[in-house]
Amino acid sequence: MPSRNRGAGEYMAEPPITQHAGAQNAGAAVASRRIVYGERLRRLMLRPEATSIAAVVILYVVFTILSPDLFPTKLTYISVMAIAAELGIVSIGVTLLMIGGHFDLSVGAVLGLTSYVTVVLMRDYGMPPIVAGPAAVAVGAVLGAINGALVVKFRIHSFVVTLGTMLIWRGVLIALTGGFPKTVNIPPTFKAVMSGPLLDGFRMSMLWFFVIGALGTFLLSRTRIGNWIQARGQNEQAARNLGVPVDRVTIILFMLTSALAAVAGVIQVARFSSVDALRGEGMELQAVAVTVIGGTLLSGGYGSVIGTVLGSITFGMIQVGLVLAGAPGHFFRTLTGFIVVAAVILNTSVARRMARSKPLGGFRRGSADADAAITAIIGGAGGSKGDAANPDELAGRVGVSQEQGR
């Protein structure tokens, strides 16, 4: 409505309130989207899987460009998953152990020795595979318990302990096999269940890999022992003070790691129907490389089983992609080493920078206040135009002082 200007004695039109409110609403919506998307991206970058996701995407694009007719095919995917599955099962155990703050360099030798146990039980003692397989896994768990007991009892670093047991188990395997392969007739049913065709050319080992990965993720993120594992890896003494049974968790982790190596050994027996003195040699370092590519820190307390699954796929992509691209054989180790170093650099530097950033204008990372602010912003942006806050009000709702953020 027009109003009288008392000073001039004239009528003047009031400012267009509707247009001003619409501009405020639009500005509030844009600001809220930027804040919410920025915080989501920041939290994604803090996830341990971020490095492995980037590695998978980059390698897929590179190898597709280098071998456009060979790499992006079903046969390539089958080959990648065949490599990733068996190595990934071993790496999942190594991941849980490294998150708990320990190393295990004996997993390759455990894989070879338990493969030999499987072959001997089936060939020399006539045990059915349904008995020989679990028995070999139990032997692997016992070997892991020995590692854990030595670490806990004598307070020796796990790197040294498992380096010694790696040499012991490998020497025992060479002595038992005499340096020659040992073969066994595998029943078709056992071969089909453990390593036979699954779907459209993919192997059953891939299914075992994904199932174990899902169970490992659940164990780490949804159970009490998962919390204990992460607490022990971050600060052992603090975990003890909080009542965490650190020694028991350590032994369980070593048993689980060796048991998963034994599972991979049983799968390889079903696949190749044999075992040799060098079975699993070098797999311990490959498992560590896959774990690091997956985002697990060498210092412990931080990591992800999902990242290890993606790291295993990355490892398989490197091996298959280089062959298809016609690269020399030594390029495999060179590129793998480069990716491992790059992953360590990214995992440490990016995590530090993102942790020092100011989430939501000062809220603590992952705090309840930050989540409440995001919810309030989304609710405000999704409401009616008349209820939306202007940019100044939005900044007041989201931003807090540096003292509160700290």
The SS3 call for residue 47 is coil
**Do the Cβ atoms of 167 and 111 come closer than 8 Å?**
no
Minimal CA–CA distance to 82: which of 271, 361, 218? 271
Half-sphere exposure of 113 (CA within 13 A, CB side): 25
- Listing DSSP states for 64-106 in one string gives HHH-TTTSSSHHHHHHHHHHHHHHHHHHHHHHHHHHTT---TT
How many residues would you count in the chain?
Answer: 406
**Do the Cβ atoms of 75 and 201 come closer than 8 Å?**
yes
Tokens 């054989």 map to which residue?
Answer: 329
**Do the Cβ atoms of 143 and 106 come closer than 8 Å?**
yes
One digit per residue, pLDDT tens: the chain, 406 residues? Answer: 444 444 444 444 455 555 555 555 555 555 555 555 566 666 666 677 888 898 899 999 999 999 999 999 999 999 999 999 999 999 999 999 999 999 999 999 999 999 999 999 999 999 999 999 999 999 999 999 999 999 999 999 999 999 999 999 999 999 999 989 999 999 999 999 999 888 888 999 999 999 999 999 999 999 999 999 999 999 999 999 999 999 999 999 999 999 999 999 999 999 999 999 999 999 999 999 999 999 898 888 889 999 999 999 999 999 999 999 888 877 888 888 888 888 888 777 765 665 565 554 444 545 565 556 556 555 554 444 444 444 444 344 444 333 344 3
Q: Which fold has domain 50-64+72-354?
A: ABC transporter involved in vitamin B12 uptake, BtuC (1.10.3470)
Helix, strand, coil share of the chain (percent; to 5): 70, 5, 25
Q: What is the pTM of this model?
A: 0.79
**Do the Cβ atoms of 317 and 60 come closer than 8 Å?**
yes
Task: Spell out the SS3 assignment of 264-324.
Answer: HHHHHHHHHCEECCCCCCCHHHHHHHHHHHCCCCCCCCCCCHHHHHHHHHHHHHHHHHHHH
Q: How far is residue 279 from each of residues 113, 137, 169, 275, measured CA to CA in Å?
A: 8, 16, 12, 7
Minimal CA–CA distance to 333: which of 320, 319, 321, 323? 319
Minimal CA–CA distance to 224: which of 238, 243, 205? 243
